[in-house]
Structure 1
């Protein structure tokens, strides 16, 4: 039976009032306690105009406040818009413009990083807001308390994904598919009221909903780590300290962990990017390993496997209940089992479309010829084939969208941002395999006539407009782009190009520089390294940045994820380490 997000939550609260709902930031909160907080915030948001078909922006980090905020927005009848305050202001501003929220919820720290848009802001840790919340009743809201009645057809959330034009697109998702998603995840993952589910995903990505629904429709506890980036020893500590029994992780994050380290772990769901067979071979002997697939446009998840076994082909599974999956050719006709075609999705969980983008919505959400009149299907852009047993195999993309470290990236957006730089005549982005750092994003640049932009200059430009996971690792320059006979950029030739090298620069001199040098040497092998070497150009990633931070701590140096992003060269990183509080 379809239910709204707030109805799913309140149904669980009635059965598990005293059960643990949240473990976050040193707090252990019961379902009743979380419900009371969410009700008070919902009433405050309603006073600011939040209600059905209106949007509330949540500019909050992974935290108890973010989880409570999502529930409060749902109770008010509005849709939540997650805003990652680590994103550049130039990226946040168009997101807020697109969604037109009636109010923004944030903290004092987050408010400092938000662009000025004229939208009212509620600062949750401000004394005034705290007092206003305490004055409001903690009881559940009814339709009489909202600006209007709420149904599953109403908007539940808006999540922005990478856009090929250089402008992120807001995917508008209703409540219609949430109950089905919850049932499928709970059944496949075997979540019970005694489970402890890890909240790993950034709230800006829809896997966040999987974690909330898996926990909050069963009476389980949601374990919310406070670290901004979870990988390696930080992720390990979060899982062990939280006694996590169920986790949904991208393969890149799983690769930073050691199987057998987590005695409580019962189920590991791999999602966000292709699951390597080696991962199954390493982890399946220690816990149940499942593989899940689905785009944001299909309410998080479309297909899922049962427990994977070492040595068997890794599929993306079969459709979850309520989802239709088709593999079609260019004429929208089904291809025979075993043949590759484009994957299309149907069912109640399809998003409405893209906010303010009717042409793009019409292009991607098309009439479903295999279902009832008026039904639609979503063109995923993924290539797949169907096996005789009904399971689907993933075969990559038909366009320039890629998955990198679990993030969905439109190469066209990266190229469009770099092309705005006055010193760039042409830009072409590719994902290439690096023998040390694995897959990395590289943008090749043909300078504009009379220009010679440096890699540091281009990287600084990219950081102004792109989130960290979309900022290229390297910026090699070319006299001209290699092209195919049809005139298109030859991306295969770009992927094969060597992007390392260069003349030797100043050797490390200070104690901090020498410490960072040794860390770089351990991470990047025999790559040429000097004081000017750039962490990202060497092949560094957000995952490897955690390694740098942890190793620096062992050497007596303090670094933060932001300091690695803002100071990528060896000498700058050493200077930042000395100035860290």
Structure 2
């Protein structure tokens, strides 16, 4: 069992698993197959090195590396040293990473040589895992579990376990400070609901910068299962299909958008699929429920990953977000913090041991979102999620969207205010308003409407380049239509409904494709964006392209003899630029 009634820290949960499954396979990654004992030995050696750099209770260690065996081992090493880990995604803009490191003040950054070259200069010491320097002596360090005396202090469930940065409405990301207290309950709930066993193979899909990463680790390790870690930076479509098949994955947690790129009949070994991160559409249930044990999960980072989960979904039943997992309480409240009747819509508030401490260095924001629990006399807190829900008579919760300007797009949590704040920093932009509009594929497209400053005319390419300096790829708008002014509702706020009604699809009028590369990519665009007017100047993102569709472009380009990377699609979104990039990469 993952939880024997005693609060366990992350390193205690892991070491408990090692004692029970010492010689079983723990990690399958990058051609390596590692047992629980082998992973534990590596983590112990690295933990001692990190401790020498000051890692310990209530201190933060930044981890700047991609999805890999080294990332998993490093998370365990940080936990063994008693510290908290901070994932720093190297695909994020340098300014965003620099802000995270300055804000969280880690004692050390654990990375690789490639990662070190991409990191902004912050003055924080580096431990480079594949370097010949200090990290090169890891093999000489003891591989046994650390004793309490080797840490700078005792570690309890109340200590900080990790810091995850999420989108912030003021224009800067905020660090959610999460303790160990909810981890054992999370592990127990996931293993039970997903039916993970020793012979299971769990996919490591989530970016380490998102807390779903912890769900994957805990659900695999506390059951003695194997964690399958693909090396591809982006998993969708054929790349995700290959990862599932090559890894013989039996259990996976995926956003519905990624699931929509797959066909259930292709995965006879997949036993349990959990969808999370965004609303689960009924047609996905109709396709997948007959083939796998399909569950729907919900939970914000502030509540230790997961708050509610369904049983197996059925095409005949309406889709809900389920009921609270053990140790979590969910209240549907009105504006006065009073429970609303069953069936009526209110705001979802979470309680329980898994609530985060709050936002790192943001006491005012913490006080706004973490409020006194009116149903407790013991000084407990509730987290105000900003999500709307209603409770059915059977206790299942139905999700009804947001009360504010936060959105979920392809599984990513985005504050529209942060996108708008970044755009208004551009000298040619006076005001900005972002919306998510549906695209032809049934997904969403982030569009920001801008009011130019002082008669200027900023181009979409200029604004996109500016946005990419400050925002991660999933938050960079696809289109930048200019308006003389923003429409307002009667209460004086931006009328986002009016913005959604505006036509923003670009119109063709430029030259047709000329080179063989242009003609090949032009054909791909015609197939992906059926019915859209397209010329060589057409922009992938303005047409409705997404990170998942970018994988499709890359795979189809390969069939045409052209080599493209995800970065080349982002950097060169027009047909003309993509064709030139393909020639230079070939």
How far the C-alpha of 1:216 sits from its partner, in A, is: 0.7
Residue 468 of structure 2 is matched in structure 1 by: 463
Name which of 530, 533, 536 aligns with 1:528. Answer: 533
How far the C-alpha of 1:142 sits from its partner, in A, is: 1.4
Q: What do the CA deviations read for 1:324-378 (whole angstroms, capped 9, x no partner)?
A: 1000000000000000000000000000000010000000000001123210000
Q: TM-score with structure 2 length normalisation?
A: 0.98
Residue 3 of structure 2 is matched in structure 1 by: none
Q: Find out whether 1:220 has 2:190 as its counterpart.
A: no
Aligned length: 581
Secondary structure at the counterpart of residue 260 of structure 1: helix
Question: CA contact under 8 A between 2:508 and 2:538: conserved in structure 1?
Answer: no
How far the C-alpha of 1:501 sits from its partner, in A, is: 2.9
Secondary structure at the counterpart of residue 234 of structure 1: helix
Residue 64 of structure 1 is matched in structure 2 by: 69
Q: What do the CA deviations read for 1:62-86 (whole angstroms, capped 9, x no partner)?
A: 0000000100000000000001000
How far the C-alpha of 1:436 sits from its partner, in A, is: 4.4
Secondary structure at the counterpart of residue 213 of structure 2: helix
TM superposition outliers: structure 1 runs of 4+ over 3 Å:
none
Counterparts of 1:31-430 in structure 2 under 5 Å? Answer: 31-430=36-435
How far the C-alpha of 1:188 sits from its partner, in A, is: 0.2
Question: CA contact under 8 A between 2:334 and 2:347: conserved in structure 1?
Answer: yes
Question: CA contact under 8 A between 2:506 and 2:542: conserved in structure 1?
Answer: no
**2: CA distance, partners of 1:311 / 1:161:** 35
How far the C-alpha of 1:528 sits from its partner, in A, is: 1.4
How far the C-alpha of 1:434 sits from its partner, in A, is: 1.8
Deviates more, 1:176-185 or 1:495-504: 495-504
How far the C-alpha of 1:439 sits from its partner, in A, is: 1.0
How far the C-alpha of 1:563 sits from its partner, in A, is: 0.9
Question: CA contact under 8 A between 1:44 and 1:132: conserved in structure 2?
Answer: no
Deviates more, 1:492-501 or 1:178-187: 492-501
Residue 506 of structure 2 is matched in structure 1 by: 501
Question: CA contact under 8 A between 1:436 and 1:523: conserved in structure 2?
Answer: no
**2: CA distance, partners of 1:147 / 1:566:** 46
Deviates more, 1:283-292 or 1:433-442: 433-442
Question: CA contact under 8 A between 1:437 and 1:524: conserved in structure 2?
Answer: no
Q: TM-score with structure 1 length normalisation?
A: 0.99
Secondary structure at the counterpart of residue 382 of structure 1: strand
Residue 21 of structure 2 is matched in structure 1 by: 16
Question: CA contact under 8 A between 2:349 and 2:384: conserved in structure 1?
Answer: yes
Secondary structure at the counterpart of residue 404 of structure 2: coil
**1: CA distance, partners of 2:515 / 2:450:** 34
Secondary structure at the counterpart of residue 13 of structure 2: helix
Question: CA contact under 8 A between 2:127 and 2:135: conserved in structure 1?
Answer: no
How far the C-alpha of 1:42 sits from its partner, in A, is: 0.4
**2: CA distance, partners of 1:45 / 1:190:** 35
Question: CA contact under 8 A between 1:437 and 1:541: conserved in structure 2?
Answer: no
**1: CA distance, partners of 2:432 / 2:508:** 24
Counterparts of 1:535-554 in structure 2 under 5 Å? Answer: 535-554=540-559
Question: CA contact under 8 A between 1:195 and 1:221: conserved in structure 2?
Answer: yes
Secondary structure at the counterpart of residue 133 of structure 2: helix
Name which of 420, 435, 444 aligns with 2:440. Answer: 435
**1: CA distance, partners of 2:9 / 2:440:** 47
Secondary structure at the counterpart of residue 400 of structure 2: strand
Residue 565 of structure 1 is matched in structure 2 by: 570
Name which of 2, 5, 8 aligns with 2:7. Answer: 2
Secondary structure at the counterpart of residue 349 of structure 2: strand
Secondary structure at the counterpart of residue 127 of structure 1: coil
Name which of 473, 476, 479 aligns with 2:478. Answer: 473
How far the C-alpha of 1:503 sits from its partner, in A, is: 4.7
Q: Find out whether 1:574 has 2:579 as its counterpart.
A: yes
How far the C-alpha of 1:129 sits from its partner, in A, is: 3.9
Could you tell me which runs of 5 or more consecutive residues in structure 2 were left unpaired when the two chains were aligned: 1-5
**1: CA distance, partners of 2:349 / 2:502:** 34
**1: CA distance, partners of 2:105 / 2:506:** 47
**2: CA distance, partners of 1:111 / 1:531:** 37
**2: CA distance, partners of 1:470 / 1:149:** 39
Secondary structure at the counterpart of residue 467 of structure 2: helix
Deviates more, 1:106-115 or 1:472-481: 106-115
Q: What is the root-mean-square deviation in Å for CA atoms of aligned residues?
A: 0.8
How far the C-alpha of 1:130 sits from its partner, in A, is: 4.2
**1: CA distance, partners of 2:214 / 2:248:** 21
